[in-house]
């Protein structure tokens, strides 16, 4: 999906420079090419040799590397890319960018380029929060520089907070979204997928048979059309697709929180098989079998309905909300009622009776119901259903 795209990757000198190796691998896997540039400090963390070996391209480190090419080698290099990615973008490198310095190869390329630039900052939390750094970030934003992250979490320096470089798969997804020229380029779409696990005690949980296959296929098809996808997944058997931002959750409540924090979005597709109920009181310790009163009675309470919550938002509702309806009888009638009750725009109905082999299987037979009524699609692979749905979404968003 990055076929023919050229990425100039500038690796700054930070502990997360090792993650840039994984980023190179992901870009190459999608058919993109990588021209690597290392700052002097980056060479302390990763070697030009390993970077060049993975990129399949010479790694540039000094301005003088370019004098043997053409006279204006650095100008050429900075403009021959479709996108310049700086990962990790250190505080120092971004300060140079913000003030327009050009005193080494990386900063010279960044000043000379006329192609879009994406930075993935990584630094100590105090450095990130420092007013000087925040001023630089604001300047870069005003200059139209794209930024992803930093993420919050434990840091190599032992502190906690914002400053960690975003994971390579997420940077890769952002690259795909920025370079996408598909019909969904520039659109953000949230997809939920997989089952949820609702704890009973620290070792047991309530779950369902969803494999997450249909949700993964939809997320992948949407990304393939150029969308920037946030993929909120429960503990599914199917691996999340490449090229999307993955948010892993366990329970329905966590899934709702993840969806709300991923907003705003142009569309949301709720393919997850969310547990309707959770155990009202989760035991703090493992419930013992040998109890005088016999097996425990599990009191259940209703989970939040994520699809209904988002469909009925009065502010910030995605333009298109798509739900799924897993039914075993009167499929279309039940699904049509569900669409009305929850307030979504489309509902994708499928028959999950065991004899259909759909739940956990690789095929699906669906009826898409919108305001104009039902449209039944022939049984097909979940990948084909996903592609057809992604194209329908692209057409609806226009
Ligand atoms: N859904 C949701 N949150 C829930 C339950 C369901 O977001 N707590 C979403 C699913 O992702 C799906 C749709 O609602 O898109 C319908 O799910 P389904 O299980 O078919 O419907 P239910 O609401 O559970 O209704 P019922 O059990 O009565 O069929």
At the top level of CATH, the class of 6-178 is alpha beta
- In the predicted model, what is the mean pLDDT of the chain? 92
Tens of pLDDT, residue by residue over 177-207, are 888 768 898 899 999 999 999 999 999 999 9
Q: Residue whose CA is closest, atom 4 of ligand 1? A: 305
Residue 303 near ligand 1, beta carbon < 6 Å: yes
Question: Cα 34–38–39 angle (5° rounding)?
Answer: 150
Q: Write the DSSP assignment of 188-236 as a string of letters.
A: EEEEEESB--EESSSS-EE-----SHHHHHHHHHHHHTT-EEEEEE-S-
Q: Residue 261 CB: number of other CB atoms within 10 A?
A: 10
Nearest to 57 by CA among 81, 89, 88: 81
Q: Residue 293 CB: number of other CB atoms within 10 A?
A: 6
Residue 210 near ligand 1, beta carbon < 6 Å: no
Query: How large is the average pLDDT for residues 92-97?
Result: 98
Which pLDDT band holds residue 68 (cuts at 50, 70, 90)?
low
pLDDT of residue 70: 54
pLDDT of residue 66: 64
What lies within 8 Å, CB to CB, of 263 at 6+ separation is 190, 310, 316, 318
pLDDT of residue 244: 84
Tens of pLDDT, residue by residue over 288-347, are 887 777 888 999 999 999 999 999 999 999 999 999 999 999 999 999 999 999 999 999
127 SS3 class: helix
Query: How large is the average pLDDT for residues 126-137?
Result: 97
Which pLDDT band holds residue 243 (cuts at 50, 70, 90)?
confident
CA atoms of 83 and 8, how far apart (whole Å): 6
Identical fold at 6-178 and 188-397? yes
Domain layout of the chain by residue ranges: 6-178, 188-397
Pick from 175-179, 215-219, 240-244, 387-391: least confident:
240-244
This prediction's pTM: 0.67
Q: Which atom of ligand 1 lies nearest, measured to the CA of 334?
A: 29
Active site residue 157: yes
Q: Which of 326, 327, 367 to mutate to test the pocket of ligand 1 (most atoms within 8 A of CB)?
A: 326
At the top level of CATH, the class of 188-397 is alpha beta
CA atoms of 2 and 382, how far apart (whole Å): 24
Which entry of 70, 138, 157, 333 is annotated as an active-site residue?
157
């Amino acid at each position: 999906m990055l076929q023919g795209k050229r990425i100039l990757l500038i690796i700054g000198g930070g502990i997360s420079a090792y993650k840039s190796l994984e980023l190179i691998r992901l870009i190459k896997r999608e058919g993109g090419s990588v021209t690597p540039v290392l700052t002097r400090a980056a060479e302390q963390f990763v070697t030009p040799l390993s970077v060049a070996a993975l990129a399949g391209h010479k790694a540039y480190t000094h301005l003088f590397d370019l004098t043997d090419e053409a006279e204006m080698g650095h100008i050429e290099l900075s403009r021959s890319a479709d996108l310049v990615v700086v990962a990790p973008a250190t505080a120092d490198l971004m300060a140079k960018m913000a003030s327009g310095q050009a005193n080494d190869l990386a900063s010279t390329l960044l000043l000379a380029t006329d192609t879009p630039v994406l930075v993935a900052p990584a630094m100590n939390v105090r450095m990130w929060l420092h007013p000087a750094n925040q001023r630089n970030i604001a300047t870069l934003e005003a200059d139209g520089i794209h930024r992803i992250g930093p993420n919050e979490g434990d840091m190599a320096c032992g502190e906690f907070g914002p400053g960690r470089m975003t994971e390579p798969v997420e940077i890769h997804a952002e690259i795909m979204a920025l370079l996408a020229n598909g019909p969904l380029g520039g659109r953000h779409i949230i997809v939920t997928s997989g089952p949820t696990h609702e704890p009973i005690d620290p070792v047991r949980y309530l779950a369902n048979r969803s494999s997450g296959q249909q949700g993964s296929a939809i997320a992948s098809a949407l990304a393939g059309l150029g969308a920037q996808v946030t993929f909120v997944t429960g503990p599914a058997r199917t691996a999340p697709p490449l090229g999307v931002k993955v948010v892993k959750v366990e329970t329905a409540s966590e899934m709702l929180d993840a969806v709300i924090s991923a907003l705003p979005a142009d569309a949301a597709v709720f393919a997850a098989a969310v547990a309707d109920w959770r155990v009202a009181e989760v035991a703090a310790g493992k419930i013992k079998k040998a109890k005088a009163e016999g097996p425990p009675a599990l009191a259940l309470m209703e989970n939040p309905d994520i699809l209904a919550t988002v469909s009925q938002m009065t502010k910030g509702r995605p333009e298109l909300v798509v739900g799924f309806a897993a039914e075993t009888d009167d499929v279309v009638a039940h699904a049509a009622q569900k669409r009305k009750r929850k307030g979504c725009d489309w509902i994708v109905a499928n028959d999950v009776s065991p004899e259909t082999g759909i739940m956990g299987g690789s095929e699906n037979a669906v009826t898409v119901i919108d305001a104009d009524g039902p449209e039944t699609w022939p049984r097909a692979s979940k990948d084909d259903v996903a592609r057809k749905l992604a194209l329908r979404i692209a057409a609806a968003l226009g």
